[in-house]
Amino acid sequence: GAVVSQHPSRVICKSGTSVKIECRSLDFQATTMFWYRQFPKQSLMLMATSNEGSKATYEQGVEKDKFLINHASLTLSTLTVTSAHPEDSSFYICSARRADYSPLHFGNGTRLTVT
Amino acid sequence: AQSVTQLDSHVSVSEGTPVLLRCNYSSSYSPSLFWYVQHPNKGLQLLLKYTSAATLVKGINGFEAEFKKSETSFHLTKPSAHMSDAAEYFCVLNGRQGGKLIFGQGTELSVKP
């Protein structure tokens, strides 16, 4: 089955630093990847849609300068949380799919803690 | 407008008894529907999917779901709960080509010994 690898699984950083999270589709090419944020006991909140070779599309209320997304290849998308603050602490999950109407395949998530 | 409503935020069953997690949807298009499971601090794993073929869909780990257009429902069932089924379950709608996925709010399933 399709596998999406997300790294790191857990990261702790100091306020003001930047953190990069990688999302890789291991056995298929993903023209579109998605980044979600999940608060405790809540559903996933779509942050942005990442398209290979073009700029990401951000959801309303998501700061594009704060959450930098790069989709450098058909198998890799990265999310960089810039100048992180404690309120950015959350669980971030990426997902990818082969094509429209195909199921999403999710990474295992990254637990970000900003101290 | 498209939406997904999971009717129960929390369901508790005893091990060995049936599981029913309810999901209703609203879509102007012929929907694709999915059920995902999430264990703590993990990503989401696909349980099953409906994409306009058979209305009764069988998934992994003994789960199945039935698409009922007349009731706009896609409830998830399992005949006999196992302790390892305790997790968060999400019903997800893909309503149109190129559209975003719409997530339900999730149902937490607890399984008592």
Within an 8 Å CB–CB cutoff, is residue B45 touching chain A? yes
Residue of A33, A37, A97, A106 for testing the chain B interface, max B β-carbons within 10 Å: A106
Least confident of A22-31, A42-51, B31-40, B90-99: B90-99
Confidence of residue A55 (pLDDT cuts 50, 70, 90): confident
Instruction: Give chain B positions within 8 Å (CB) of A95.
Output: 43-44
Query: What is the distance between the alpha carbons of residues B56 and B59, in angstroms, rounded to a whole number?
Result: 10
pLDDT at B53: 76
Beta bridge partners of A4: A25
CA separation (Å) from B102 to A31, A66, A75, B29, B94? 19, 24, 24, 13, 6
Span between the terminal Cα atoms of chain A, in Å: 37
Query: What is the distance between the alpha carbons of residues B96 and B87, in angstroms, rounded to a whole number?
Result: 29
pLDDT at A62: 95
Give B99: exposed, middle or buried? Use CB within 10 Å, 0-12, 13-18, 19+.
middle
pLDDT in tens, A82-112: 999 999 999 999 999 887 667 789 999 999 9
pLDDT at B66: 96
- pLDDT above 70 covers a percentage of chain A that reads 97
Sign of CA pseudo-dihedral A93, A67, B5, B65: negative
Pairing of strands B10-14, B107-112: parallel
pLDDT in tens, B66-103: 999 999 999 999 999 999 999 999 999 986 655 678 89
